[in-house]
A = this chain, B = another copy of it.
Amino acid sequence: MNSDIRLSSRVVAALQEVVGVEPVQLHTPIFNGNENKYLQECIESTFVSSVGQFVDRFESDLASFTGSKFVVAVVNGTSALHVALELAGVGINDEVLVPALTFIATANAISYCGAIPHFVDSESTSLGIDADHLREYLGTHTEQLSGQCVNRSTQRVIRAIVPMHTFGHPSDIEALLAVASDFNLVLVEDAAESLGSFYHGQHTGTFGLLGTLSFNGNKTITTGGGGAILTNDEMLARRAKHLTTTAKVPHAWEFVHDEIGYNYRMPNINASLGCAQLERLPEMLLAKRNLFDRYANAFTSIPEVNLLKEPSGTRSNYWLQTLILDSSQAHLRDDILELTNSVGIMTRPAWTLMADLKPYANCPSMDLTTARDMVRRIINIPSSAHLGNTHE
């Protein structure tokens, strides 16, 4: 046996210490609350579509939980981001700064606005945008013209910045807000992965002009498919509701639409699931923290592998638990992925960097040294809340 095989085997052993020997998915939802009850109530009401009491309640419950003044529920996180960017003023031929290390939905939402993603590097503590590196880059590569940040190379306006809270860990959002302010950028937060994550006590997604959440089936809580737009600005909240309901002007029977809107409202049946899920969110978050502790304990014996921990000053939802291989072990990433998946423990690497995907290969990008290094070293491991309950 060579040492390569030994590390893979030791990782499998550490994982099995926590998750057992049965096949285990990366992330599965838990439905042990009022899910069936609320679904039935929704069916009995006959309001299953874009209007209904559960949508109103879900929005209100999310506002309470996140501290956001206004919440607009939509069909998914991608549509939330699309509308948030449009409301932030992102339009045709604008550039938008976005981490290269993200799920493709972040970049796609920019494309839907007719805008161009401009990829930026990450830092290794939170895996979010590296504010210092970005500040330096913008200082040398952009100029301010009539209060707009202009990319010297492309002559296009850089309109906005979209930090993403990777795997649930809060980015250094205050440093990023300072960069946004200094370079005249609107900040829109992609908090798709970070429901339940806080930065200095404030919920992620509530720092920017607008923020967005996702309730896809693989997220901490799910509505089947779903998302939400967060904002503290009442006018933007009204515009978000208007744009996501086909821009129909309210009237008892007339059909007047005053702009090109979207069919993006969350159906009531999905919101009924969301209301039940949200009731259990606090205990799920505790279970996920407990799972981190269990993994941390199991991996103490493997010094070549670190478990990604919430950055100091933040409280993470630990959406996806993350192994970071030592740089010297990065060449073993695929061996570990192969062996873990072959024994039924679902693991996966980070996303391919956006700048390396065919549809985005020609977009502007800063040097991505850290993001590129981290992608070689990241392995996500099973993260379902139920794995954190030691009695299971």
Contacts and interface: CB of A to CB of B under 8 A. Distances in A.
B255 A104 contact: yes
A256 B352 contact: yes
B254 A349 contact: yes
A262 to B, nearest CB: 7
A103 B246 CA distance: 10
Interface in A45-103: 46-51, 75-79, 103
A36 B43 contact: yes
Given A78-B262, A358-B258, A359-B260, A349 B253 contact: yes
Interface in A217-237: 217-218, 222-225
A270 B254 CA distance: 29
A273 B40 CA distance: 11
Interface stretch (A13-21, A27-35, A180-188, A285-293): A27-35
Interface in A349-392: 349-352, 357-359
A261 B108 CA distance: 7
Nearest to A276: B43
A268 interface: yes
Number of copies: 2
Q: Is the interface of A mostly helix, strand, loop or mixed?
A: loop
B50 A257 contact: no
Given A78-B262, A246-B105, A351 B269 contact: no
A337 interface: yes
A263 interface: yes
Contact of A77 (B51, B248, B255, B263): B263
Contact of A270 (B28, B112, B270): B270
21 contacts: A39-B39, A47-B217, A50-B216, A51-B217, A75-B76, A75-B225, A78-B262, A105-B263, A111-B260, A112-B112, A114-B114, A224-B270, A247-B359, A253-B337, A253-B347, A254-B348, A255-B352, A258-B357, A259-B359, A260-B359, A269-B270
Interface of A: 28-29, 31, 35-36, 39-40, 43-44, 46-51, 75-79, 103-105, 108, 111-112, 114, 216-218, 222-225, 246-248, 252-263, 265-270, 273, 337, 341, 347-352, 357-359
Given A75-B75, A103-B255, A270-B270, 10 more contacts: A31-B46, A48-B217, A49-B217, A50-B225, A78-B262, A79-B263, A224-B267, A225-B263, A225-B267, A255-B348
